[in-house]
Amino acid sequence: MYRSIFDTDHELFRDAVRRFMQREITPHVERWREQGQVDREAYLKAGAQGYLLMWAPEEYGGSGLEDFRYEQILYEENLRHGDYGFYLQLHSRMVGNYLGKFGSDEQKQRFLPGAARGEIILGVAMTEPGTGSDLANIQTRAEEHADYWLLNGAKTYISNGLLGDVFVVAARTSAAGEKPAIGLFLIERGMPGFERGRKLDKMGLRCQDTAELFFSDVKIPKSNVLGDPQKGFAQLMQCLAEERLIIAVCSIAHAQVAFDITLEYILERKAFGRLIGTFQDARFKMADMRANIDAIQAFVDSCVTLHNDARLNAELAAEAKYLATELEGRVLDTCVQLHGGAGYMSEFRICRMYTDARVTRIFGGTSEIMKEIIGRSLGLDDRTLK
């Protein structure tokens, strides 16, 4: 499908990113999946090319490139030639964005240049064993003292959990009986009391390290408080629309790659003396996927345009994430089916893509949460229906 949102400069950028991915990322993917994490060198190489924190002003090590379409291209080419588990998007936008929006000048000077070079790897720690998507009920606590905050608690399912050098950690800052409040804190590698747990064994995203984090009387200097320690929930909400758009961008790109791999397979593989692609059932499945991918790609691209104009709202972002991730799941399931027995074998990329895709309907807010957001925007909640 012709995508009208890109111009010549974008396509030149795509060509450069594609060559980088093919040269520096593709050859290492299998090894990364076996070892359970990417090499730190991958971030250093991406940083040397200027592909990390592209949005950051030059004074903080970035390119000042605010056009989100360049990020979109970077993620699309990473998914085509790299791996879902090389989490450029988490490092650069999902976490880096918190520092960009809420960090002090001192914090930006201290962390952003190193992150842009790939020397400092970023992560975010919100999820806890008993809360999932319910951020309002997190149990990790930060207590204020004269010149520091004292952090205690645990986080789980944390991406970049082992590689990460600086984490944005959400913690409850309100005392018992007070109105619930959350603060965001910058926790650095090596802080006393900060420990990593086991590397979690996941269904997919095998080359992306996910771990538990533990905090036992971690003394956080007040210079590491990110923004207002009573307004962390509002800060999180400000960044969620972009986070969900990023997931939508990646999910529809992943579905497109799966489609292309499957089309190539059914045009080469034979059954009962015929190419699989010549059977009506295969043609109809491919036609259905083609139409749906094109439709949702157009919607996601329109959301990118709105985001560039600062007009993307929470409801549209939820729609984009919901539609793209649900379609991704259906496409990957169909593509595995069209591969037959080969689709169930880990040596085939489509099998690995299938397990990688399953989490996108969970992280960043589950599909059920997305439907709640969309439904409430229509006035369909308990308060209005009583």
Catalytic residue numbers?
A: 243
3-state secondary structure the chain: CCCCCCCHHHHHHHHHHHHHHHHHHHHHHHHHHHHCCCCHHHHHHHHHCCCCCCCCCHHHCCCCCCCHHHHHHHHHHHHHHCCCCCCHHHHHHHHHHHHHHHCCHHHHHHHHHHHHHCCCCEEEECCCCCCCCCHHHCCCEEEECCCEEEEEEEEEEEECCCCCCEEEEEEECCCCCCCCCEEEEEEECCCCCEEEEEECCCCCCCCCCEEEEEEEEEEEEHHHEECCCCCHHHHHHHHHHHHHHHHHHHHHHHHHHHHHHHHHHHCCCEECCEEHHHCHHHHHHHHHHHHHHHHHHHHHHHHHHHHHCCCCCHHHHHHHHHHHHHHHHHHHHHHHHHHHHHHHCCCCHHHHHHHHHHHHHCCCCCHHHHHHHHHHHCCCCHHHHC
